[in-house]
Structure 1
Amino acid sequence: MGRVFTLGVGAISLLCLAAFIDAVGAQAGDRAAAQSAQYMCPMHPDVRGKAGDVCGKCRMALVPATADYHPYHLDVDLTPRALRPGEKGRARFIVRDPTSEAIVKRFEMVHERVFHLFIVSRDLEFFAHVHPSLHPDGSLDAEVIVPRPGAYQLIADFLPSGGSPQFVQRAFATAHYRGSFTQPPAPVADVADKIGRDMTVHLAPPDVHAGREQLLTFELRDRTTGAPIADLEPYLGAIGHVLATSADLSVAFHSHPVDAVSSPSGPNVVFQILFPRPGMYRLWAQFQRAGRVTTVRFTVPVAD
């Protein structure tokens, strides 16, 4: 015959208390895990952590994360509406909440600026990296000068506070332009060494394929002596910046070095880049030395 065990009220109370403590502990652990995942890197949203942490890839401070990506609305107004080459114009931006359409007035600081603006010509020959000023009413504006007639692309990179990272493009053309907005250029591969203001830049790409993260290494040498550079300076919070676009400008992304495998002040600056599809990509790389920024460009073929 089996034996039946009975528990007194005190024992039952102790068991209930233990179960309650376990449940509370589990809930606290869940809350702690959730809180630790509520911060993300603005440039690498897959990197999560807690308040005060920095990204292990680029050393940027983590910012509050959102559960889902929501595209914000970007209004752009050019003055004059049809810019003339070589003349000063002004671009004004308004960012609107995707749900309420309210004007966004608060942005996270990403690499020392709240808004990065790239201006690229459709033929991929012109590139500029500027930073609009934020005003109390939420509007942002920047001076815009383009060198010659043609079609251009404004590429905006920003992070609304409490939102997700945004990368938005808008097209415009100069006065009297009658050419195509849709016919892409046909750039040829160009990975030869580039000579900048005071440096020579060598790109050491792997066998680049679409759909996988890969490391691109830029090797920098002094233009005069040929010696490896060891005095790079941070430019906008990083020792390098890369803007990459597909030939038709339908794909564009802004990347920063991976600190763990880059030299802190040169000569090797390493970027982790994922090209989403095959084709030709134009890369503009920027580095600062002695207070002056050097911009060089490469055209990289990406295989399937």
Structure 2
Amino acid sequence: MACFFILLSACGSSATTVDMSDMSGMSGMTMASSVAHQHTSDAIAHFAVDSPHNLPKEISNITILVQNKWNRPIEKFDVMHEKLMHLIVVSKDLSYFEHVHPTYAGAGRFDVQTSFPAGGYYQLIADFTPTGSGESVQSHWVTIDGKAPKNVKLLPDKRLTKQVGDKEVTLAFDHLMAGMELDMVFSFTQGAAKTPVTNLQPYLGSVGHVVAISEDGNDFVHVHPTDSEATSGPTAAFKIVFPKKGIYKIWGQFQQNNEEFIVPYVIHVNL
């Protein structure tokens, strides 16, 4: 099977594909650029994607090897939101989103299987915390062969109310200024009578989970609710800081009746 390793340039404008068929060579991988977020540890994440033909809809094995600056495996990681690692997979235009949790195999190695829906560019964003160090968020671009869909232009939503099945979910902010902490609140109603939802179930240990990514893919924000005890609705409140002005896509993840649902929004953040 062919295995491809993508190096992300600092500006994110180009990628190089390297044949990584020999997995024993992983220790020599070059570090990919980190997404702008909390990256306070010395950890370096090396990504490899192993796919039979590098085509859409086939199972791809993703391996992430976490090492220190001396190329030695980091052995221990802290649990963060019930998991040792969170992996976000998004298409370049942010129309596709997946949130998975790689399994820790030991010696700094995490493994997960996924499939990519179409050809094109995808960003892998790994969020983890080595024990005794700070949270680290690192990203990697991969290219999948095959026909890529037409890019979907990211436009801010005119109305921050979305319909998900029979639920209506409204997102509200106290302000939208970059570089400042702000309140972000989701409100949930259900059915024609718009009855407040009070039976949300914990998702990753709290009422919900939010990921936000800037239009250019360089900024990533990963937050959980401000009140860890409030787990059932009808609202879910978060504190968040957008690092710079511009367009962001937000995905809220919640659970009801043992089924996860995702609510996407596009917003514009001001200076």
Query: So what's the TM-score if we normalise by structure 2?
Result: 0.80
- The separation in 2 between residues aligned to 1:164 and 1:171, in whole angstroms, is 23
Q: What does the per-residue CA deviation read over 1:242-298, in whole Å, with 9 as the maximum and x for residues that have no partner?
A: 1001100100111111107x8441011111111111101100000111111110100
Paired residue for 1:85? 56
Matches within 5 A, 1:36-75: 69-75=40-46
Letter in 1 for 2:125: I
3-state SS of the aligned residue for 2:74?
Answer: coil
- The separation in 1 between residues aligned to 2:230 and 2:84, in whole angstroms, is 27
The higher relative CO (CA closer than 8 Å, separation ≥ 6) is in 2
Cα 1:279–1:81 change in 2 (3 A) is farther
Letter in 2 for 1:283: I
Q: Give 1 or 2 for the bigger CA radius of gyration.
A: 1
- The separation in 2 between residues aligned to 1:81 and 1:278, in whole angstroms, is 40
Paired residue for 1:237? 205
Conserved 8 A contact 1:82-1:174: no
Paired residue for 1:111? 81
Paired residue for 2:97? 127
Paired residue for 1:139? 109
Paired residue for 1:284? 251
Paired residue for 1:102? 72
In the alignment, is residue 246 of structure 1 matched against residue 214 of structure 2?
yes
Q: CA RMSD in A?
A: 2.4
Cα 1:287–1:159 change in 2 (3 A) is same
Cα displacement (A) at 1:188: 1.1
- The separation in 2 between residues aligned to 1:208 and 1:230, in whole angstroms, is 28
Paired residue for 1:189? 156
The counterpart of 2:135, out of the listed 142, 153, 165, is 165
Letter in 2 for 1:205: F
Moved over 4 A (4+): 176-179
In the alignment, is residue 268 of structure 1 matched against residue 239 of structure 2?
no
Letter in 2 for 1:173: T
Cα displacement (A) at 1:171: 0.6
Cα 1:148–1:269 change in 2 (3 A) is same
Conserved 8 A contact 1:151-1:177: no
Letter in 1 for 2:167: M
In the alignment, is residue 258 of structure 1 matched against residue 226 of structure 2?
yes
Q: What does the per-residue CA deviation read over 1:112-154, in whole Å, with 9 as the maximum and x for residues that have no partner?
A: 1100000010011000000000013331111121111110000
Conserved 8 A contact 2:171-2:186: yes
- The separation in 1 between residues aligned to 2:177 and 2:139, in whole angstroms, is 25
Cα 1:163–1:185 change in 2 (3 A) is farther
Letter in 2 for 1:244: A
Judging by fraction of residues, say which structure has more strand.
Answer: 2
Cα 1:151–1:81 change in 2 (3 A) is farther
- The separation in 1 between residues aligned to 2:52 and 2:218, in whole angstroms, is 23
Cα 1:104–1:224 change in 2 (3 A) is farther
Letter in 2 for 1:94: L
- The separation in 1 between residues aligned to 2:97 and 2:148, in whole angstroms, is 21
Paired residue for 1:210? 178
Matches within 5 A, 1:142-157: 142-157=112-127
Query: So what's the TM-score if we normalise by structure 1?
Result: 0.71
Q: What does the per-residue CA deviation read over 1:191-221, in whole Å, with 9 as the maximum and x for residues that have no partner?
A: 4311224522101123301110000110011
- The separation in 1 between residues aligned to 2:147 and 2:45, in whole angstroms, is 24
Cα 1:112–1:186 change in 2 (3 A) is same
Identity in percent: 31
Letter in 1 for 2:65: I
Judging by fraction of residues, say which structure has more helix.
Answer: 1
Cα 1:71–1:201 change in 2 (3 A) is farther
